[in-house]
Amino acid sequence: MQLETVRFGTLEVAPDAIITFTQPILGFQEYRRFVQLPGPSDYLRWLQSTESSELAFIMMVPTVLVPDYHVDVRPAELSELAVSSIEELEVYTLVVVPEDKSKVRTNLRAPILINPRLRLAKQALLDRSDYPIQFFLAPPHQGQGQAREASHAGLNP
């Protein structure tokens, strides 16, 4: 099938490449079907909506920044994605890229879980309070006491 996108132009997408979210990504309730596309590096991927030509997310492998990143998934969530263990899933986090590149961040508390075999996905909400909602990828500027992470989405360091 042909997929028209704002960011990537016209793409040829195999129907079996479409990932279906069992629950929508927070804030994007009407979009459930996406395709994964290569990103600018091995640990970055694009998640392009098949239902909106304008909607695309950049995702990253969180262990690149946090090597001991661990996702505790409830049995019901594993069942929802038709797997028996987290090892069967690809784990990503969404990246926010604002105009101010010093504020590029990812949400470690709400990873995207993908079953690559059945092309099912969901955004999990982790109970772990030590993973921040905003984890800044850029170190603070020299001379500023800005923290690398903020624990609440409303904070704008």
CB 112 within 8 A of CB 93: yes
pLDDT tens-digit map of 11-54: 999 999 999 999 999 999 999 999 999 999 999 999 999 999 99
Q: Has residue 133 been placed in a domain?
A: yes
Q: What are phi and psi of 44, to 5 degrees?
A: -115, 140
Question: Residue 25 is part of a domain; what is its CATH number?
Answer: 2.30.290.10
Model confidence band, residue 147 (pLDDT cutoffs 50, 70, 90): very low
Please give the pLDDT value at position 9.
96
Average pLDDT (98-105) is 91
Q: How far apart are CA 8 and CA 103, in angstroms?
A: 24
The boundaries of the domain holding residue 129 are 2-150
Q: Does residue 157 form part of some domain?
A: no
Mean pLDDT of 56-72: 95
| Pure H helices in 9-146 | 75-80
Which residue, 102, 41, 43, 92, is CA-closest to 69? 92
How many Å apart are CA 38 and CA 40, to the nearest integer?
7
Q: What is the pTM of this model?
A: 0.85
pLDDT class for 143, splitting at 50, 70, 90?
A: very low
Mean pLDDT of all residues in the chain?
Answer: 88
Terminal alpha carbon distance of the chain: 43
Asked if the structure places residue 155 within a domain, the reply is no
Q: Is residue 34 part of a domain?
A: yes
Q: What is the model's pLDDT at position 140?
A: 62
Looking at the domain assignment, is residue 156 inside a domain?
no
pLDDT at 85: 96
What is d(CA 32, CA 102) in angstroms, rounded to the nearest whole number? 31
In-domain check, residue 64: yes
Number of domains, the chain: 1
Tell me how far apart the alpha carbons of residues 131 and 113 are, in angstroms, rounded to a whole number.
Answer: 16
Let me know if residue 35 belongs to a domain: yes
Asked whether residue 111 is domain-assigned, the answer is: yes
